[in-house]
Chain A
Amino acid sequence: AQKVTQAQTEISVVEKEDVTLDCVYETRDTTYYLFWYKQPPSGELVFLIRRNSFDEQNEISGRYSWNFQKSTSSFNFTITASQVVDSAVYFCALRRGLTGTASKLTFGTGTRLQVTL
């Protein structure tokens, strides 16, 4: 069974602070994909990153960075120098990597990030 846990329900920070969103996953598959999506109040899920299970390199994209550690089954997301526009709900998700299977996403419950001035 696939499971994603986002233990932080809500985080509030002041603009320019760094913030890390935690994600822990469970899977018996050796091949899988991990994702982060952002959901602003409009409702649409905005794709941020995809990482496959064989690539443990950390990634940085502007103010965003991701730390993937298979040893702890974690895929954490850090926003550096947060901005008010970063306020949203962030979801971590898991997908099986086997070909021929439905490419469904298993989502965590999300972390609501509130960035204030």
Chain B
Amino acid sequence: ETGVTQSPTHLIKTRGQQVTLRCSSQSGHNTVSWYQQALGQGPQFIFQYYREEENGRGNFPPRFSGLQFPNYSSELNVNALELDDSALYLCASNDRGPLNTEAFFGQGTRLTVV
């Protein structure tokens, strides 16, 4: 079991609503990344935060936004939810220093938009 925890584990929202997903990084990791995994697909990179600043973004619209806090925990916010936003959202943390460790993932938040 990794030290990355995500909340909530499941969520149901209505189209047009806003949602906030949370992630607590593994101790000592300064980088957090968010991925969207649609059913039957591989995870797709949304964005990454390094020391509280966005450091890379995938092909996702601006209504996907995030934050990283001084303790390196993170939030993913999605505004104006669409049906296609239904997916498993995975958070991963790693140490992007000299060790440049591999990413460790949380158990994910399964979001259903109805």
Contacts and interface: CB of A to CB of B under 8 A. Distances in A.
A108 B88 CA distance: 16
B88 A43 contact: yes
Label chain B's interface by main secondary structure.
strand
Contacts of B35: 105
Given A101-B56, A105-B45, A107-B43, A45 B100 contact: no
A106 B48 CA distance: 13
A103 B45 contact: no
Contacts of B107: 42-44
The residue among B31, B58, B88, B105 with the most chain A CB atoms within 10 A of its own CB is B105
For chain A, the bracket of interface size reads 20 to 34
B13 interface: no
Contacts of A102: 33, 48, 50, 55-56
Contacts of B66: none
A35 B45 CA distance: 15
Given A35-B102, A103-B94, A110 B56 contact: no
